[in-house]
Amino acid sequence: MAIIEGTKDARGLRVTLVVARFNDFVTERLQRGALEALTTAGAREADISIVHVPGSFELPLAAQVAASSGEVDAVVCLGCLIKGETVHFEYIASAVAHGITAAAAVTGVPIAFGVLTTDSAEQALARAGAGSANKGWEAAMAAVEMATLFRKLRRRAPEGIRV
Ligand code: DLZ
């Protein structure tokens, strides 16, 4: 029996953060948390790129294009949807979740979901604080774990099969 897992070691990984500008008082903090997580885990700043998009709705397509470049091991989507201020909150939240899932499936590149969906700005800020309580940090580490897992899985794939 083999148990195959990813690691929290980001050395040598190339990661793209796709960050929504809407509610940037929160998404800037998520970006900071993700960057801190990646560099603490050993990623080189030169291997990290940051893409800004207008709002969360734009995250999936930008993530898909970034993942399709063949030059990234993982993508991290960061956004913030606040229910109290967004009438069509459910539509956007659902479109973003499905879009990110589809982008990861189409490209085979792990795309982490770091999109806050909260009732209020206070709740959003509480999830974008310091250290590992920051959801940007959490999403970045999920991306590292999946990227390192995929490296192991691809090494095990039979010759000629690339997933
Ligand atoms: C339009 C809109 C609204 C009302 N609320 C949010 C939000 O809470 N969080 C977010 O990331 N984006 C929001 N947007 C912008 C949409 O995501 C998108 O950028 C626009 O509808 C243009 O496609």
What CATH code is carried by the domain that includes residue 136?
A: 3.40.50.960
| Structural domain count, the chain | 1
Residue 161 is assigned to a structural domain of this protein: no
Residue 71 phi/psi, 5-degree rounding, is: -115, 10
Question: For residues 53 and 19, what is the distance between their CA atoms, to the nearest angstrom?
Answer: 6
> Which tokens hold the place of 141?
């580490």
Is residue 162 over pLDDT 60? no
Residue 4 is assigned to a structural domain of this protein: no
CA of 19 to the centre of ligand 1 (A): 12
Name the closest-CA residue to atom 8, ligand 1. 81
Residue 135 is assigned to a structural domain of this protein: yes
* pTM beyond 0.75, yes or no: yes
What is the gyration radius of the CA atoms in the chain, in angstroms?
16
Residue 163 is assigned to a structural domain of this protein: no
* Residue 100, domain extent: 15-152
Residue 159 is assigned to a structural domain of this protein: no
pLDDT of residue 132: 80
Residue 1 is assigned to a structural domain of this protein: no
**Residue 95: which pLDDT band, with cuts at 50, 70 and 90?**
very high
Residue 122 is assigned to a structural domain of this protein: yes
pLDDT of residue 86: 65
* Probe target for ligand 1 pocket from 57, 61, 94, 116, with the most ligand atoms within 8 Å of CB: 57
C-beta separation of 68 from 31 below 8 A: no
pLDDT of residue 92: 93
Is residue 85 over pLDDT 90? no
Ligand 1 atom at minimum distance from 115 CA = 11
pLDDT of residue 29: 98
Ligand 1 binding pocket includes 56 (Cβ within 6 Å) = yes
Model pLDDT for residues 18-51, shown as the tens digit of each residue: 999 999 999 999 999 999 999 999 999 999 999 9
Is residue 116 over pLDDT 90? yes
List C-alpha distances in Å: 93 to 27, 77, 107, 123: 15, 13, 21, 16
From 19-33, 41-55, 59-73, 84-98, the region with the lowest mean pLDDT: 84-98
Mean pLDDT of all residues in 133-139:
96
Q: Which residues contact 11 (CB under 8 A, 6 or more apart)?
A: 41, 42, 43
Question: Under the phi-then-psi rule, with left for phi > 0, alpha for psi from -120 to 50, and beta for the rest, what region is 160?
Answer: left
- Among the options 88, 98, 152, 154, which is catalytic? 88
Residue 62 is assigned to a structural domain of this protein: yes
